[in-house]
Amino acid sequence: MYPGRLDDKGRIKLPTVFQQYFDALREKTLFVTSLDRRIAQIYPIAIWRKNEEFFAEHREMAKQANAVAFNAADLGAEAAMDGQGRVLFSPELRRELNLEGQGLHLYAHRGRIEVLSDEIYESRRKAAKALTEEEMASLEAAGLT
């Protein structure tokens, strides 16, 4: 988990480890969006294309997939990391998620970077803290090391 903050132009400076990850990719384009209108995500474009394929092909939960695809398109935009490791968030995304003027929390999850507001971070932290010993034991029994 890394701290972050949007600058006055709506850019977030990525930690060095994330910069190195994106620099190592063949395609440098990123897609910055939100799937749920609560949490921002920064995707390498190759991973984002897989999501687009999922939206096009997913039939079991088509209504939900269409809603997520709409959210992503409505709030998302392609971006590039600049030479100082900053990534621009669209004005629509910043406003919808109320990301400006507060501390943010960044972490890598499933090939993307999630950007959490303080409110979402505290909510997730509280939920994670409530994990019981039995639930932890179940995860370990299922293969968590």
pLDDT at 113 (0 to 100): 97
Statement: residue 60 has pLDDT above 90 = no
Average pLDDT over residues 109-113: 93
Backbone angles phi, psi at 25, to 5 degrees: -75, 145
In a domain, 8, yes or no: yes
Residue 20 lies in a domain: yes
pLDDT above 80 for 66? yes
Average confidence (pLDDT) over 109-130:
94
- The verdict on residue 131 lying in a domain is no
CA 105 – CA 103 distance, rounded (Å): 7
- Distance between CA atoms of 114 and 69, rounded to whole angstroms? 17
- Total number of domains in the chain: 1
DSSP H stretches of helix in the chain: 16-24, 45-57, 62-75, 91-97, 118-129, 133-141
Range of 83's domain? Answer: 2-119
What is the Cα Rg of the chain in Å?
16
* pLDDT reported for residue 18: 95
In a domain, 124, yes or no: no
What CATH number is given to the structural domain containing 58? 3.40.1550.20
Asked whether residue 135 is assigned to any structural domain, the reply reads no
Would you say residue 26 lies in a domain? Answer: yes
Nearest to 114 by CA among 101, 126, 105: 105
Looking at residue 57, its pLDDT comes to 85
pLDDT digits (tens, 9 = 90+) for 25-35: 999 999 999 99
Among 67, 92, 62, 90, which Cα is nearest to 77's?
90
Question: Distances from the Cα of 49 to the Cαs of 55, 69, 70, 102, in angstroms?
Answer: 10, 12, 15, 31
Domain assignment of residue 130, yes or no: no
DSSP for 97-132, please give it.
Answer: HT-TTS-EEEEEETTEEEEEEHHHHHHHHHHHHT--
DSSP state of 89: P
Given a cut of 80, is residue 58 above it in pLDDT? no
Does 19 reside within a domain? yes
- Whole-number pLDDT of residue 32: 98
